[in-house]
Structure 1
């Protein structure tokens, strides 16, 4: 598996995505200053900056209730469409949560936006980790593996609706009889992203998802997840693309970058971080193997929602570029980035880091060709 992983990743440039701050509070649970806005004006400009900087994707978030600094939340699909209308090339991934959404609504929404934007919309199917959110909006809270079974049916239903006429499906959660959606999405079909670190999440990704997102981690630990997912996908005659979460702090010196992270953690909101940790660790423990996202996260890790500090994209542009290549060697296709001050740091990342990544990729390509 390692040889196949290295061969594939030597040929395609690694892609970059950013978290869309359509939820208030930024990307860290800290009282540090964050020059980041959650309003549409800020986000339209950010999307344009990111597109010019070389980012291929943006990921909108879905939240229905306040907490952990996220007192305000714009709905993900509508917000994604607004960003697509403000850009020309950027692909926007809209987070969708089974329960509030069913496949019929999601298929119709995404097919319409797909047609309106020449195929630039994708989805991130979020199986759910916050039981309090489901209770607040009157949605049943399923057991851990049941949530992933529902998500898998959701994806199978989406694909059927998007590709078949007279679609018929009989699942435990969703049923269709001779349903035809028109217009269908233009080809290629909308990409489907999915996250999670539990066995159920990895198995589902191997069977049905186009992309698998994992929380932040070291290249060595990411490689273990990649090999597990790709081995299972290969048995299904498939290959899944891999995205990893990271929080980037690029500064002229490593000392400056480390000082920023130290300040973020020093100014963390302990009550909010611990409350968040309680919820997400309970969600992971609910899996049969007792694992999942955040299972081994410390207080410091949890200050950044998805373990972004663990990926260690903290330092000079050169250090960060080299670490991104290490992630690529581990099997990563895309790095999903959060920042403290989004507009200015996305622009800096595009100017100072992405060109170094491309130069390193080209250098490695020449070395392999010479060998």
Structure 2
């Protein structure tokens, strides 16, 4: 069945990118108070949970590059964040290829028990060819990577929900396999995935619980969301939508825009171009040439996932209004990045989130009044 309009559904959810990779969330030499260490990240997780964030997304990188000299592994790092919190759900990024579904199913089921149902995964089909080559993993063509991800997700779901699971795919094969214990979460831990290409959207519309898209204009996002939800409805599938956004919330719009200008002015030009070459190869490699980053500008690429394009930059009121507008076109979750994570997450929780909830409540009240008026009109006619 199709997903209900987000304008009348549950409150929009918030996630943040875990800075378990050095360099923060911008390819810039600007001074940052964000740190990639465990101690910093555990303090951040506690602050984000207190601020009202529901999810955190740990990144996966195997090699240095593009300003990220150091990288903590995603699954073990996610578990460390879960130990520091009580409500936050942590998404561990997983790469089919380096990971086998049986290993992931076992790891995540165990962490699900340890954390009482607070682990999820983000299946990353792969965009960094050099990384795959460096660790000796085959680099598949664009749509083949998504076909492998599709099998990967179907295998995971089968292992997590069935006994004596048998699967005969082109990439993965299982014979009479029973995982025990199975995860706490039912039917299984949430499965997220990203992408913008036709293959990515089709995959989300058939097997994934959540779809992450890069930052974009409301018009660009609505076109993607409408396409995915139409396909999902045809498949009898339900998928929810998350959008990437780099948030710069300040007391005045001038302050916020000045921070953005400063980040871009200090862009690590060589690293941005190198990152752009890698990701545009991945995006343009899709048959229709519409994958992630295929049309990103230099300024867009200073933030890894086109987060500036979502334009959550300004005062708390401006940002809250834009978030509610995104919800109205079908966005269920905002995946945020910040320059100085801890203090800006705290500011967001104090200044922005209450305004979002207030606007959502006002919108719901108006929708209820309109519904009651329509009902009264029908009764009058009858």
TM-score computed with the length of structure 1 as normaliser: 0.98
Residue correspondence of structure 1 range 1-371 to structure 2 within 5 A: 7-188=5-186, 189-371=188-370
Report the equivalent of 2:373.
none
**Contact 1:5–1:329 (8 Å) recurs in 2:** no
TM-score computed with the length of structure 2 as normaliser: 0.95
User: Structure 1 CA distance, aligned partners of 2:363 and 2:112?
Assistant: 36
1:132-188 deviations in Å (ceiling 9; x for gaps) = 000000000000010000000000000000001000000000000000000000132
**Contact 2:27–2:66 (8 Å) recurs in 1:** yes
**Contact 1:161–1:181 (8 Å) recurs in 2:** yes
SS in structure 2 of the partner of residue 212 of structure 1? strand
Task: Return the offset for 1:8.
Answer: 4.2
**Contact 2:5–2:329 (8 Å) recurs in 1:** no
Unaligned runs of 5+ in 1: none
Task: Return the offset for 1:218.
Answer: 1.1
User: Structure 2 CA distance, aligned partners of 1:254 and 1:71?
Assistant: 33
Unaligned runs of 5+ in 2: 371-382
1:222-256 deviations in Å (ceiling 9; x for gaps) = 11100110000001111210000000000000000
SS in structure 1 of the partner of residue 65 of structure 2? coil
1:283-321 deviations in Å (ceiling 9; x for gaps) = 111111111001111000000000000000000000000
User: Structure 1 CA distance, aligned partners of 2:220 and 2:354?
Assistant: 26
Matched positions, count: 369
SS in structure 1 of the partner of residue 204 of structure 2? helix
SS in structure 2 of the partner of residue 353 of structure 1? helix
SS in structure 1 of the partner of residue 221 of structure 2? helix
**Contact 1:17–1:336 (8 Å) recurs in 2:** yes
What is the RMSD computed on CA atoms of the aligned residues?
1.1
Task: Return the offset for 1:9.
Answer: 3.0
1:17-36 deviations in Å (ceiling 9; x for gaps) = 00000000000000001100
User: Structure 2 CA distance, aligned partners of 1:248 and 1:219?
Assistant: 16
SS in structure 1 of the partner of residue 205 of structure 2? helix
Instruction: Mark the structure with the bigger radius of gyration.
Output: 2
User: Structure 2 CA distance, aligned partners of 1:305 and 1:191?
Assistant: 24
